Chains A and B, each alone.
Chain A
């Protein structure tokens, strides 16, 4: 079993749709969690950190459930520019290692 597992996708949605991605992690010692966005053949970039209380940044909402070891990302009012691969990350320790999921690909169509 992988340490971080994501919905396999791909997700193909029309503009304006709401889409949700799920992620589970197996190492209960993981301390911090993130969603990264990766455009085709480019480097990953941080989309948002994920907190137990949930956090929102514009059209994006992230949630963490430590009891279930589950992370989610909700995108509302999808834009064409949201088309990318979204990577879920669990980080262990203050200067330790991060484990990435394999990513979920989103394509937003006109």
Chain B
């Protein structure tokens, strides 16, 4: 049981390049999330998907797009990377229902934009 997996683990981009961060979970969870974490700060929600086929903006969605490909996979795309997007990106998933909102996190993707 792998839980939540993320690829790649590390990435260096030049300003203006694009890339997609991949996330997959094998726990049959309905909800999935993308966060970014800057040094010394907590996690900020970029986008989330309450269920397959739906996505919603979080606190910091600008510069990102997401796709909930199926129940297992939720990808995050940077169309034109900027140095301000240098961060650690975490994907998470959780079951649906009040009282069942523990989130399980992937190991993170460390992204540097030059």
Contact = CB atoms under 8 A, between A and B. Distances in A.
Interface of A: 4, 31-32, 34, 41-46, 49, 87, 91, 94-103
Interface string B88-114: 101000001111011101111000000
A1 B58 CA distance: 17
A101 B40 CA distance: 11
Interface stretch (B13-21, B41-49, B65-73, B75-83): B41-49
Contacts of A49: 102
B96 A95 contact: yes
Nearest to B57: A97
Interface residues of B, number: 29
A44 B31 CA distance: 17
B102 A101 contact: no
Nearest to A102: B42
Interface of B: 30-31, 33, 35, 40-45, 48, 50-51, 56, 58-59, 88, 90, 96-99, 101-103, 105-108
Given A42-B108, A94-B101, A100-B44, 18 more contacts: A32-B99, A32-B101, A34-B101, A41-B108, A43-B106, A44-B43, A49-B102, A87-B42, A95-B30, A95-B31, A95-B96, A95-B97, A97-B58, A100-B35, A100-B42, A101-B42, A102-B40, A102-B41
A107 to B, nearest CB: 15
Contacts of A31: 98
A43 B31 contact: no
